[in-house]
Structure 1
Amino acid sequence: IGSILIPSMKRAGYKAETAVAVVAAATSMGILVPPCIAMVVLGVLANVSVGALFIGGFLPAAVIALMLMALVYMQAVRGNFPREAKPTPRTFVRTFAQALVPMTMPVILFGGILGGITTPTEAASVAVVYGMLVGLVIYREIKLRDLPKIMADSAVTTGVVMFLIGAASLLAWNLTREGVPNLLSTAITIVSTSPWIFLLVSNVMFILLGAVLEGLPVLIIMVPLLMPLVQQLGIHPIHYGIVTIMAVGIGVFLPPVGVCFFIACSIGKTKLIPSTRAFFPFLLVLIAGLLVITFFPEVTLVLPRLVLGG
């Protein structure tokens, strides 16, 4: 997505570092928008409903998105950003009609999962078939000869994720066998037995780990170790899962070492220092949003309770 949006923003007249900062911030927040592989992995590791995580991510994502929009609006007013022509009603209707077909895919995913018709795996399979039909028949952007390469690429990606899960699960089992969760629990409870302090410590830890590792390995290694303490402190696992995912999402874009931030700079062909300077206000907003969903659990839990009950 960044390889499309960042060059498009540059062509529209935005500074390269501004384009990198906006896309990086949106992507960091976007990890909360389902369907997200991090939620699926965390749900499996923590024995938590993936559907509940999907629903729980909506409102936190909306809150942080509104905060980012407010920042962009203030910067646009003060910085005299390029202006786009206001779309006419006819243009809006035509664009909406064009987007209607791909917009059906989230309906398939969430409708199937929340309606109890399919499991997350089955819903994903149906969505893949639907996407293939759309690409082959409606948009005709995919040719039959492209399918073997697409399947091979998907197999490689899936294999990498499964290898990470297998290796990290083995590491987590060994650490558990050696009593590391108990040591970690003791170390944290020495500081404080407050669940709020634990959540703050978790935020800092996952942000820093996300900055030096990729997001999935961090979740796979740390979540099984921390979940017993989460349960002991009475923290709702859905709330903790969403907070953790958002913290990792910030970490992977944390300058100057965040892996994904380097990728964004590479796409935008910008230097690290000016891009970091442009990203810093967005980083503050992201951290503020993380604190909001950390200290106000109902932002995360209200929709799962409303839809799923409990």
Structure 2
Amino acid sequence: MNKSSIIYIAGHNGLVGSAITRRLKSENYSNLIMCASSDLDLKKQADVKTFFKDNRPEYVFLAAAKVGGIYANNTYPADFIYDNLMIQTNIIHSSYLFGVKKLLFLGSSCIYPKNCPQPMKEEYLLSGYLETTNEPYAVAKIAGIKMCQAYNRQYGTNYISVMPTNLYGPGDNYDLHNSHVLPALIRKFSEAKAENIPFVEIWGTGTPRREFLYMDDLADACVFLMQNYNEGEIVNIGVGKDLTIKELAELIKKIAGYKGELRFDHTKPDGTLRKLLDVSKLTAMGWEAKTGLEEGISRTCISYEKI
């Protein structure tokens, strides 16, 4: 990419897309294409083809997706598989039809098997059964990876796929029914402190381990890979460190200044017991995350309080 390249950020209003957009603007990329979902339904093939025909992007960051936590994935599995399959299929195929030079597809660490060896290496993809709570979403993302690889093989395209770990940051979704664990906890602790609630209830046992990446670090990695990586095999993006949900809750409790009790609801699902990415491939290329977890959560808490 150069500063005047025509760059389409699909999903620019989302957590990931907005971070990528900010990153590109900060480096003075001047020809960014963005289109809100109210103006372009990415699930409609004809509309997506028309958009690509009219705008002719040279580079595409495919960050548009339907996302959510355990509750949302369990409650709306059909929506998660249909919406994501349609969105990514239409964008990838239109990128081929209209000569996009390079596309970056954003997957998810949930593509890896439920009982995957830890940390999870890229080659572990499709080596075992998926976690049932988010299987439809994971299957859609795996299809996107394989579609990019198939188009590279058959048509000589340059489509790369990246697998970020759990993401967070200002502008996240704080809806308790649809959000991921970290923003949900920020909301719970903030409200409990404000309303003097004596305890905060947390889903599951608190023992599963998770890795968290600040959204601006992900954006930096995506731009780095768009500039420096040209192979079909997937690349993990993470920090290479994890912690338990209980440890996460205790950290957010401290940052939020909440003094009450933690209560874990053992009747609720834990999900996968551990999800830690092996990031040695990306590290070997010269990229590492810069934002520490406490620093990132502090920024996110400040942003949430301003909502």
Q: How does the TM-score come out when normalised to structure 1?
A: 0.26
Which of structures 1 and 2 has the bigger CA Rg? 1
Return the TM-score normalized by structure 2. Answer: 0.26
Indicate the structure with greater helix content: 1
Structure with more contact order per residue of length (Cα contacts < 8 Å, sep ≥ 6):
1
Structure richer in strand, relative to its length? 2
